[in-house]
Each structure stands twice: as structure tokens, then as C-alpha cells.
Amino acid sequence: MPRTVRDVVFVDGVRTPFGKAGPKGIYNETRADDLVVKAIRELLRRNPDLDPAKIDEVAIAATTQIGDQGLTLGRTAGILAGLPQSVPGYSIDRMCAGAMTAVTAVAGGVAFGAYDVALAGGVEHMGRHPMGEGVDPNPRFVSEKLVDESALFMGMTAENLHDRYPTITKLRVDEYAVRSQEKAAKAYADGKIQPDLVPISVRNNNEAAGETGWGLVTADEPMRPGTTLENLANLKTPFRTHGKVTAGNAAGLNDGATAAIIASEDFARENNLPVKMRLVSYSFVGVEPEVMGYGPIPATDKALAQAGLTIDDIGLFEVNEAFAVQVLAFLEHYGIADDDARVNQYGGAIAFGHPLASSGVRLMTQLARQFEEQPEVRYGLTTMCVGFGMGATVVWENPNFTAEGDSK
């Protein structure tokens, strides 16, 4: 018999504070799977009307699926989090868009009717597992010129994107980076970020700094409030001599985890669960790997076309800030100003950090909170570039929308 496609909603999302990767980072002594467990447990604590036995799936993404990020994280983290053994799970890898793909994958199951409710998220512990650890790229990629060698290095692809957009100057990317830090600091000061953070107990073992014993992480570690253009002007350009990409106008190497509840709208309302966003459309596309940062543009074009919308219908944008040039290329393509108030209202990955496979759900939690505060906005989108030449975009509808005022 024919099936009816069901409305899919974003019920709730949480994340750990993001940390700096490396021996001095807050999560140096913390396992990656334990970060996922904390996020899942917090979701269940915040949504007591969700019977864990009713969860149909757990999809958790990780880019480097070895060590404590291996062993089918969706299944193992679910068991460690105390979910019934009847709840299945699996792992996903789409590099930076891992958590976003986890969300859309289970959303497809919900829309089809295979699931009523599922958990989706991602984790990346880049301190334990640097991007590319243990991989063996096929030599044909370079020997047969299937891709330029720069495609294997994300920072080089950002410099290539600068070449494609010569109007995006070093000053513009640095100005954008300063605004990201300022907006993130203001969002913290206004209490916009903290409600979605899961406090994490960590063991400190930095004897040189006098930091030993246990502590509690309650805020993002990578943020650099007070960053100025002068601070950024003289930073090294490690990917190209006299280049434009620096540690100041790009996301760093980070650790962190995210998780979200995705359900059919009927199930959410029948079980007294919040409905924070309604899924409209999503798209993943491929682009030349050498200019990976271009990916959000065709992905957004495709997702908007699927929804019967245009870019002018979008009232809020959450664009992942892997590199400032990638965001500015997106904005320039659509004729949107660098400082448009609709874009990354709370700041982005340049400030908070970008633990690869986990970041998609961070974009969603921030958009959901903005939807709640701005019922005059009808549509928003979350978008990101993806390693090895891809883009990902999800279009969302605000369930709090009222026709009064702006109808975007």
C-alpha cells in the first residue's frame, strides 16, 4: 500500500562545550565515546516524557572511526548511555557534515515511517585522532590527476577559494573573524549558548601549569574574546606564502560531541515533546575537491529548489565557519552583505570551534533557539562545506512562525 510522507521535526539538541585539541586541551584525558554518552544522557534528562524504549535508532557520526571513535558508535554509545539493548545504532562518516548527515539519514526513516523517533549526532576528538590518522589515500588521486594534491589539505582548498573570489581580501576575512568572536562573546553574555551545553567532568593532568585533579567544563575553550584586527593582521599563513588563511580566520582543531532528537511531528506532540524546527528539505552535493569551500552554494541552490523557495525566503542562516573565506564566498554569491544580521547571529565555528563530525547539530541548536526568539521568521537554513569537495544544506521551518511582520 502507498505510504504517506510524514512531517519530521527537530525536537531538541545539546552539545558538549568544545575544547582545543591537544595535550593542553580540556578533553585530553576524556574519551570520545564518553562525550557522546554525556550528550545522549542530557537529552533524555531534558525530555523525561520520551520513553527510551521507544527510540528506534541512534546514528552517531565520526570522521576518524578508530580507537574510542570506532566500534559502531551509535550502538555502543547508546548502550553506555543506558538505552535499552533493544535500541539499535550505527556510525556515519561524511567528514565535517557527519552529524548533519546523521540527522538527515534518520529523518528519511521518520518520513518514510520506519522510525517514530531517533537520536542523531556526532563526535570528533581531534586531540586523540587527528584528521587523516590511519588513512591511506589511493595514489591514483594524484598520479592520474583525479584531484589536485591541494584537495587533501583543507587549508590549501581555502586558499584556492580565495583565488576563485579575488574580491575576498585578507582584510575582509579578518574582519569577519573579529565579528564572529564578538557575536559569540555577546551570545554568552546574553545566556544564549549555555542552555544547550552539557557540563562535562574532566580530569586535568597538567602538572606544569599546576592543574591537576578533576574539574567541570561549562564553556567553549577555543573562544578568543577581545580579538582585534591588529591581533590577526600578522598571523602566519601556513598554507601558502603570503596567503590569506590563518589560524585567526579559520576554525581550529577541536574536540566535542553533539546529539539531537528527531521525530515525526505526530509522535512529538502525542508524547509531549517540544517541536523546535520542522524539516523542509535537505541536499548534499559534490564540487571540485580543490575548492571544497564552494560546496554550500550548490547544496543550498538544490535544497531551496526542492522546497520551492528562494534565498530571499530565508530569514536566518547558520553557516559553518570552517574558514571565513568559505562563508564570505557563500554570502557574496547570494548578494548578502558580510555583516548581514541574519547570518550566524550567535557567532560561529571561528569562535566556538569545529570538531568536524559534530558541528552540524551545533548549527541546528543555535538556529532552533533563534527561531524561538524570532517568530516573525518562517524559514532558516543550516549549511556547511565538507572535506574532499562536498556541500550540505538543510532548510528548516519555524513552528513558532506568526504571519505578523516579516514572512521570511
Instruction: Verify whether residue 242 is a known catalytic residue.
Output: no
Catalytic residue among 125, 129, 162, 385: 385
SS (H, E, C) the chain: CCCCCCCEEEEEEEECCCEECCCCCCCCCCCHHHHHHHHHHHHHHHCCCCCHHHCCCEEEECCCCCHHHCCCHHHHHHHHCCCCCCCCCEEECCHHHHHHHHHHHHHHHHHHCCCCEEEEEEEEECCCCCCCCCCCCCCHHHHCCCCCHHHHCHHHHHHHHHHHCCCCCHHHHHHHHHHHHHHHHHHHHCCCCHHHECCEEEEEEEHHHCEEEEEEECCCCCCCCCCCHHHHHCCCCCCCCCCCCCCCCECCCEEEEEEEEEEEHHHHHHCCCCCCEEEEEEEEEECCHHHHHHCHHHHHHHHHHHHCCCHHHEEEEEECCCEHHHHHHHHHHCCCCCCCCCECCCCCHHHHCCCHHHHHHHHHHHHHHHHHHCCCCCEEEEEEEECCCEEEEEEEECCCCCCCCCCC
Catalytic residue among 96, 125, 129, 162: 96
Instruction: Verify whether residue 162 is a known catalytic residue.
Output: no
Catalytic residue among 125, 129, 162, 354: 354
**Any idea which residues carry the catalytic annotation?**
96, 354, 385
